[in-house]
Amino acid sequence: MYTIKEATVNDAETIHQLANEIWWPTYSPILTADQIEYMLADRYATDILANQITQGEQTYLLVMDDEQPVAFAGFSPDETNPEIYRLHKLYSLPATRGKGVGKMLLNAIYERVLAAGKNILELNVHRQNQAKSFYEKMGFKIIQEVDIPFGPYFLNDYIMHKEL
């Protein structure tokens, strides 16, 4: 049975380890190994995650299968529009896909966004990421196509939007 807990600074290493386990099978078909390594180092270093949690820059949720972490999500109010929340990260171990873990995480995020008095959730998803179809099933709509410089790379994304 899956449960959700809000991550603390003590969970930064767990999120780091999950990201490393999840990113390779998720992104190897669409990104180079160099880009995956670069992005993991930039976004998922334990000290970066710990700082985000400590500073309140992002709220992280962990999905636990008994005592084992199997998925995580990170979200926050949008930096440019306080009426919008941004889903920065939502990842689950490949073995959990199709088992309702992503939907469970999104529902928990929806509750927190609505409790904050907001009703819009946006995210970026790589245009070739299979997660795009999951987000569409969950009611997200593509509102923009963007190519965002990211170090020596580009993030070739869709911005997706959902009114809660």
Q: What are phi and psi of 124, to 5 degrees?
A: -110, 140
Distance CA 10, CA 83 (A): 30
Q: Which two tokens stand for residue 62?
A: 């962990």
For residue 90, the cross-strand partners are 73
Contacts of 7 (CB under 8 A, 6+ apart): 14, 15, 53, 59, 60, 61, 62, 72
Q: What domains, with CATH codes, occur in the chain?
A: 2-163 (3.40.630.30)
Read off the pLDDT of each residue in 43-63 and give the average, rounded to a whole number.
97
pLDDT tens for each residue of 61-96:
999 999 999 999 999 999 999 899 999 999 999 999
Question: Percentage of the chain with pLDDT > 90?
Answer: 99
Q: How far is CA 46 from CA 14, 42, 129, in A?
A: 9, 10, 25
3-state helix, strand, coil in the chain (%, to 5): 40, 35, 25
**Residue 1: band (very low, low, confident or very high) from pLDDT cuts 50, 70, 90:** confident
Asked if 36 and 23 touch (Cβ cutoff 8 Å), the reply is yes
Asked if 119 and 113 touch (Cβ cutoff 8 Å), the reply is yes
Q: What is the pTM of this model?
A: 0.96
Place of tokens 């946006």: 122
- Residue positions counted in the chain: 164
The answer to whether residue 34 scores a pLDDT higher than 90 is: yes
